[in-house]
Amino acid sequence: MCAPGEAVTLVPEPRNPVDPHAVMVLSARGVQIGYLTADRAAWIAGMLRSGRDVAAIFQQATAMGAAIRIAFDGAVPVLPRPVVVQVDPDPDFWPDDLPPDD
């Protein structure tokens, strides 16, 4: 689909028969990734229509499509820091209970 941090384009679709506030998301190669969710599309479409500077990048694929990061008015969208997961090398090891030295 896209690499994390790759630019995506937001395209308002005012003639969309299902939702006049629909905003299509295109990859850097011009391939449609999907649409913004309806609860965010109206607000973002209004920003685009009013000429506000909107920049967006791909964050990651999700079960429902993709997550993107959006920034406004010249700000640069930034990926969140990766989450470091500590993995127990031996999850079945249980140390013996050691009583205190009295």
**Domain coordinates of the chain in residue numbers?**
7-72
Q: Is the pLDDT of residue 39 over 80?
A: yes
pTM: 0.76
Alpha carbon of 34 to those of 3, 38, 74, 83, 89: distances in Å? 16, 12, 24, 26, 40
CB contact at 8 A, 41 and 98: no
CATH number of 7-72: 3.30.70.2330
* 19 closest CA partner among 1, 4, 40, 48: 40
**Model pLDDT for residues 54-83, shown as the tens digit of each residue:** 999 999 999 888 999 999 999 999 999 988
List alpha helices for the chain, DSSP H.
38-49
Q: How many residues does the chain have?
A: 102
Q: Is the pLDDT of residue 94 over 80?
A: no
* 35 closest CA partner among 50, 55, 53, 16: 16
